[in-house]
């Protein structure tokens, strides 16, 4: 069985990454997060916990861990001296407003937000899934992203970096995935639109790959377990790179995969931006004369 069967076909870059590398290493001095404050939602999970570790390793002033389970957050925080735990439901307007107000009062600044909280329903089709379960994917993946972005812009002036952990599933069609794929597509499009209203707020939509569950953290989908070889630390390092390397600014508003080599992506950034290669849209060339058909 080819462990790369669900990774290699979706490569933008010739180099495929499944574990951290030098360009996104938190120990890289050029990625220093010294003095920065970051909020990480879903911080008790596989990707979120690694994001928190990476930012702490890079010297962040404060890493605010957010999630529903205080016990899970405290477990992550135990090894991170800069960590602050804030238990909250990110689908609750009241909870999210209180979170951002608390960060503003305590630190007076916010430099980055990583939305790693998410849900995925994949075990029932449209006819069989309960409406509440179907909608939960929109609550966690879309509403929560809106709420955190809303209060970030409202309380901190609309500048900084947001990294939304999304999924390649947004662009694929598969049975039993309607709620998740549609929610992730909406999350990606929302990320594009934020920059139109707040140009100084850079938003990136990052597919983490098929992440290997480590130390009891992370989502396990049995049918994909043989292919789940991507390290959560890969997305963690990429989030740090996107927030600290000024070259990443050109990619704001785009979809990126953690499996793609960032140096190779940046080598082609002009083509990516000019041709909107990583933006949500219709592939046809629309215009007053219609699409230029091949025949």
Task: Convert the pLDDT of each residue in 202-217 to its tens digit.
Answer: 999 999 999 886 654 4
| pLDDT score of 217 | 44
Q: Is residue 201 part of a domain?
A: yes
List residues with catalytic annotation.
180
> CA nearest 176: which of 122, 140, 131, 216?
122
Q: What is the pTM of this model?
A: 0.94
CA–CA distance, 282 with 259 (Å, rounded to integer): 24
95 found inside a domain: yes
Residue 128 sits in a domain whose CATH number is 3.40.50.720
Q: Provide the residue range defining the domain that includes 142.
A: 29-274
Half-sphere exposure of 222 (CA within 13 A, CB side): 1
Report the C-alpha dihedral over residues 162, 218, 182, 186, rounded to 10 degrees.
-10
Structural domains of the chain, count: 1
pLDDT tens sequence across 139-189: 999 999 999 999 999 999 878 999 999 999 998 888 787 899 999 999 999
Would you say residue 5 lies in a domain? no
Is residue 244 one of the residues assigned to a domain?
Answer: yes
On whether residue 234 sits in a domain, the answer given is yes
Any domain includes 8: no
């Amino acid at each position: 069985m080819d462990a790369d069967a669900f990774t290699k076909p979706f490569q933008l870059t010739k180099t495929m990454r499944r574990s951290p590398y030098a360009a996104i290493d938190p120990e890289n001095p050029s990625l220093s997060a010294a003095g920065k404050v970051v909020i990480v939602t879903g911080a008790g999970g596989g990707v979120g916990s690694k994001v928190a570790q990476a930012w702490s390793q890079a010297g962040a002033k404060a890493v605010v861990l957010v999630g529903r389970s205080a016990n899970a957050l405290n477990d992550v925080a135990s090894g991170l001296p800069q960590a602050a735990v804030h238990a909250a439901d990110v689908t609750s307007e009241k909870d999210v407003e209180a979170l951002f107000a608390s960060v503003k009062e305590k630190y007076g600044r916010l430099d980055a937000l990583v939305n790693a909280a998410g849900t995925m329903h994949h075990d029932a089709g449209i006819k069989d899934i309960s409406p509440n379960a179907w909608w939960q994917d929109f609550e966690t993946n879309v509403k929560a992203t809106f709420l955190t972005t809303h209060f970030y812009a409202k309380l901190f002036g609309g500048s900084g970096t947001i990294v939304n952990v999304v999924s390649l599933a947004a662009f694929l069609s598969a049975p039993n995935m309607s709620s998740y794929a549609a929610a992730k597509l909406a999350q990606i499009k929302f990320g594009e639109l934020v920059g139109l209203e707040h140009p100084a707020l850079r938003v990136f939509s990052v597919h983490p790959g098929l992440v290997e569950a480590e130390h009891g953290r992370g989502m396990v989908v049995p049918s994909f377990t043989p292919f789940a070889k991507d390290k959560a630390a890969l997305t963690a390092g990429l989030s740090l790179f996107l927030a600290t390397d000024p070259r990443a600014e050109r990619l704001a508003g785009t979809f990126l995969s953690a499996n793609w080599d960032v140096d190779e992506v940046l080598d082609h950034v002009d083509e990516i931006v000019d041709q909107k290669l990583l933006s949500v849209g219709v592939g046809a060339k629309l215009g007053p004369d219609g699409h230029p058909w091949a025949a």
